[in-house]
Structure formats: structure tokens, C-alpha cells
Chains A and B, each alone.
Chain A
Amino acid sequence: MDKISRIIGVGVPLRRSNVDTDQIIPAEYLKRVTKTGYEDALFAAWRDDPNFVLNHPPFDKGGVLVAGPDFGTGSSREHAVWALRDYGFNAVISSRFGDIFRSNAGKQGLVTAVVEDEIVERIWGQIEEQPGVQVVVDLKAREVRCDSVNTKFQIDDYTRWRLMEGLDDIAITLKKSDEIESFEKSRYRWRPTTLPARSE
């Protein structure tokens, strides 16, 4: 993963709450077996509506999505993160995220910045006043900036550190192979094993 310290992009106001991952990417797009090329799938059902925000330049070139509370609830599909990333979004700002979505985002270089509802409302106001205005998500300073808005955001320290260092989780864990091995030796022998298969 690339190291991230600061994200700057056109802010896109998504004035909706409870944007579940079925809306971010409908199930029909989950049949692909690849990890890239999902830009067409992002908000696919909503993009059929000419009034949807991404159908209005300059928002079609969005880089920072600003959404209502409970963004990314529901299904665990990491495709939701891939679709946002492939479309060009590098950060999402909201007051609350679905847990699995947020975890997936942290592993794929998509920054999820938590701010108060009132701040989301102010950023929406700024963007709607000046469409195309840039929103800065400064991971290093832990700040969201947009015109007169300048505020701290929440992200857990460990995720922030990993994003800034561009680290691969598996490589980090494999350094602890000895500990994993010794844990396995103490595992109760009657804990489940799938092999050899037993049947009724």
C-alpha cells in the first residue's frame, strides 16, 4: 500500500444517512473475481437517477465523500471500498461508520474520518455554496479542512499509523509466527477441525 499523509480532493455532499453497502455497490457487481475495475459499480442504482450528486459536475470528479451518519452499514463486502477507491475517492467523512466497512477501508488505503454531525452539516454547506471546493483530510495533522471549516477528526491511532506507513497487515502478523505456533500447541484437541471430514 502507498503511504498516505494528506488527501486533497473535490468534496462531494451525500446528504443521506444509513448508506448501507448494498447501496454503495449492489450485489450484482459482486460476481466479479477481480479486485479492481469497480468504478462503474459505485452507487450503481442511484446513478440511474439524473439528480444524483455524482451525475453533476464537478462532483463526478469527487475525491472526498461527505456522508450522513451510519455510512457503510450492512454487508461485509469489501467491494464497497474498492468501488469508492476505483471511482476516485480517497477519503470518506461521516459522523458514524459501519464497523466492518471501516475496518475494510483501513486495510485498503481509504481514510474514514469521523467528525460530529454538525461539522458534516457545515462542510455540506461549504461544498454546496462553492461546488468544486477542495476538502483536505490531513491524516498527519488529524484534521479536516474545507474553506472556513478546520477541525480535528477521529481515527484510531493504529489504523492511522498503518495508513501513514503503508503497511501490510499480513507481513506484520507473520513476524509473530512463533507466538502463533506456540498458541496452536496449547489448543484443546477437541476444538473443531474440518479435516478429516466426518459425516453422519
Chain B
Amino acid sequence: MKNPNPRTLAEKLWADHLVSKGADGEPDLIYIDLHLVHEVTSPQAFDGLRVSGRNVRRPDLTIATEDHNTPTIDIEKPIAEPTSRIQIETLRKNAAEFGIRLHSLGDIEQGIVHVVGPQLGLTMPGITVVCGDSHTSTHGAFGSMAFGIGTSEVEHVLATQTLPVKPFKTMAVNVEGELGEGVTAKDIILAVIAEIGTGGGQGFVIEYRGSAIRSLSMDGRMTICNMSIEAGARAGMVAPDETTFQYLKGKPHAPRGKDWQEALAYWKTLPTDNGAQYDAEVFINGSELEPFVTWGTNPGQGVPLGGEVPDPSLILDPNERAAALRALDYMDLAPGTRMKDIPVDTVFMGSCTNSRLDDLRLFASIIKGQKKADDVRLMVVPGSARVRLEAESEGIDKIVKDFGGEWRFAGCSMCLGMNPDQLGPGERAASTSNRNFEGRQGKGARTHLVSPVVAAATAIRGTLSSPKDLTSESEES
């Protein structure tokens, strides 16, 4: 029988969390199932609560961890930098005062907030998730509605467990086809951003669909949803399926027994109905994708690895042309340079985009038994203390160290360099993180966004590379 009212995944989630519908252009009030907190965007929110004499409404739906400022070496010592230390101490004080569960440095569940939620089984299909961090979109990989908020909104959620928000428009990004060898989730999302631009997703929640998305593990889906914000979208999501359920089953906070059966039945009702309409649709041929890398200073400035640095004079849009000229100047690159000829100083393997076990496994499988390029520094930073331990139980730490890389403790690290893990002025990195903005990884630092696969091959050859470049070299010799 035909469904008279077909709805998208996003519309179903919205309806299920509606506390009150906004009248006359007012936003809707929606309920928040899970509020993730970290040290950078929360101190002023807790202060706000104190000033107005308000409390945290639902500490039991709130969880905090330390990630942005935490060092990735010598974690048993006091944090050396006073401002970082104060910020972390402030979170510890606030968590204690308001009764919020906190995973501190040294705890097995400490790590990047977007790695911790899923590994605990707190992130699940059909829920709403917010965090004072734009990469909260990561959690949408489970079929949840997850988006980043500012500090005023953090305070609002702490006080009320709700948020006034206008419904997002819906966009379907369809990626069909089988991915080629060495092509990963990261390449899909970089290609999507290059296609729709850094503002293309503004006002939208993106639902990633199609056989190429279905074939990805949860870790891969998280990589894609993570960078939805780089396309301008508040949220990205993938409908839950067997892959989702298998991942969740047995996780500490996943429903159990009869609850699991009930939850599963509900989750299976969530995928977008046949015939539901999206406000916008994008189609990408997954089988044609190649490893993708960025050449500029925003995530939309990317090309296939086999390509060249573009010529700004050929860009028609005046704003984009000016941005490209500025980016090439900052990146110290000339138009027409082959991407594969660009040498790097550092390879950073980590961040909420690519620091999960699948990412580390993939990376290790390529560098295993190989030799690192002499003048390249490699830093590998697992997403959480648990991921680090799991990787170590598989010998990944040894592979990284034998290769000549640094095996670090968990945190945001060099993705944004709030801790001492930074690039120097003019240094160039191949980075599995999410932002190639000016100065992001250190003042004057230059970033090329890459997948774990390209990061690994680049660490071996010293210039931006894919594993195919390794085999063609050995065939030639």
C-alpha cells in the first residue's frame, strides 16, 4: 500500500523530538537526548548558569571529556601550559559542581568527544545529539540528528535540555557504485565538498545515501558525516542498517535484552520512506572517484590526487578567483604543479575525522614493513584512549614505531594545535584532519587534507602519494 505521508529520516527525527511547535516564524523547541561537553566551549556556559542561579536540568543526559587541550605525550605529568591547564581544571571543577560525568586525561574513555560518544554506545539511531563543537555532525552516521552549537546554546541545553531551532532543509547526497582501490570515505566527502562548495550545505541537513555509503563501516560513515560542516551543513546523517546495529550491540550504553528488541524495532522505522521528497539532491558516481586532496585554504579547494594545482585565472567567479589567488600565495604553490610533486614536512594521522580503529588499521596496513621518508615527521594520534589500547592489542603501535613514526596519546592534537602539537611557520603537512584553514595547524602552517591511505603513502614517499605510486615504483626498479 502506498504511504500517504512519506517522510525523510530527518523529518522523522524532528517530529519525534518536538517539545513544542513554533508558531508564526518562531523556531521549534526540540528535545536533546545527548549533550557532549568539552573544555573549550563550556566554561562560559557554566558561568552563565551560576550567574543566573540555574542548574543543569539533566546531568544524566550529559557527558564531558577532555580533548582539545590535552597533551599527547607525558600525560602523567601536570599540563605544562598554564592556560590549557586552567581550562581543563575549570571543566573538572564544573563537572564536579554540577554532577556531570567526566572522562579525564588518563581514563580509558578519555579522547576526542566525537570518538567517545560512539564507543560508549551513547550515540544511537533516532536520537538528537549536540555539542559545542561543529564536528558533532559525526554522530549522524548512526541515523541521529547531531549538530554543533555555540556556547550560548550549550548553556541553553544545560539549563533546559532543549533547543529552539528552525527545521533544517533536507539534502540527499547519493553516492552509488563501488569504490576503487585506495578510495575511502574521506575521498567521498572531499569530493562532495568540492562539488557543492563550502557554502553548498548551508541551512541543510545532508542525508548520505547510495550503495557506496552502505558499503562503508561505521567508522567510514562517521568520517563522512564529520565533514558535513565543511560543506556548510549543520548536520549529516546515514540511515541505520545492519552495520549500525552490529556496531552498537554490546556497547556499554546500548540497550539490552528486551530494550534492545524494542529499540531495534523503532530504529528500523527510521530510514527515509519511498517517495519522500528532499529539498535538494546531489548525485556522485562513487566508482569514478579517486583519492582526493586539497591544494588551498578551504576544504572546497580540492582536486583528485592525480591532478594539478588549478590556475586561478581560469576561475570565473570573482570571489572564488580572489580566494584561490590568496590561497596559492599562502600555500606557496604555483598553478599547474602536479599534486604528487608536492613534498611535505609532516604527516598527521588523527582527528575526529580519521582517528578510529578502522582508520589506524588502514594506515598501518600500508606502512607495515615500509620505510618512512627520511625528512618527514609522522605523528599518529588515536582518537581515544580506548582506540589506542585496541590498536596496541593489534600491534599497530609497533608498526608505527618501526616505521619511524610517533605513537601518541589521544586527543584533538595537531588538527587545531591547541596543545603543543603544532606545525611551525611555513611547514607543510598531509593531514587526515578536516580543516586546511590558514594557520589552523600552527601560525603560517600549510595543510593538505588527505585520507589515511594517502597519508600513509605520503609518509613513505615524502610527496603527496597514493599506494598505487608505491607499487609502480617497485615495478619500475
Contact = CB atoms under 8 A, between A and B. Distances in A.
A103 to B, nearest CB: 6
B155 interface: yes
A102 B90 CA distance: 27
Interface string B157-180: 001111010100000000000000
A31 B435 contact: no
B134 A76 contact: yes
Interface of A: 15-18, 20, 22-23, 26-28, 30-35, 45, 68-70, 73-79, 81, 96-100, 103-104, 107-108, 117, 156-158, 169-170, 172-174, 176, 179-180, 183-184, 187-195, 197-200
B372 interface: no
A26 B233 CA distance: 22
Given A17-B319, A173-B164, A198-B120, 17 more contacts: A22-B416, A31-B86, A68-B322, A69-B319, A74-B435, A76-B41, A78-B41, A78-B150, A78-B152, A79-B151, A97-B202, A99-B233, A176-B162, A190-B263, A191-B124, A193-B61, A198-B253
Nearest to B22: A158
9 contacts: A23-B437, A26-B439, A35-B151, A77-B41, A77-B150, A96-B202, A104-B150, A191-B127, A194-B61
Contacts, number: 216
Given A28-B418, A96-B202, A193-B61, A176 B20 contact: yes
A144 B110 CA distance: 48
Given A76-B150, A173-B164, A197 B101 contact: yes
Contacts of B440: 22, 27
B149 A76 contact: yes
Categorize the interface residue count of chain B: 35 or more
A23 B253 contact: no
Contact of B61 (A23, A189, A192): A192
Contact of A180 (B19, B122, B150): B19
A70 to B, nearest CB: 5
B438 A45 contact: yes
B245 to A, nearest CB: 14
Interface stretch (B24-32, B336-344, B358-366): B24-32
Contact of A194 (B26, B40, B63, B83): B63
Contacts of B84: 31
B431 to A, nearest CB: 14
Contacts of B156: 169-170, 173
9 smallest CB-CB distances across A and B, nearest first, come from: A104-B150, A78-B150, A190-B255, A33-B43, A31-B83, A107-B152, A190-B259, A195-B60, A76-B148
Given A169-B164, A189-B259, A17 B234 contact: no
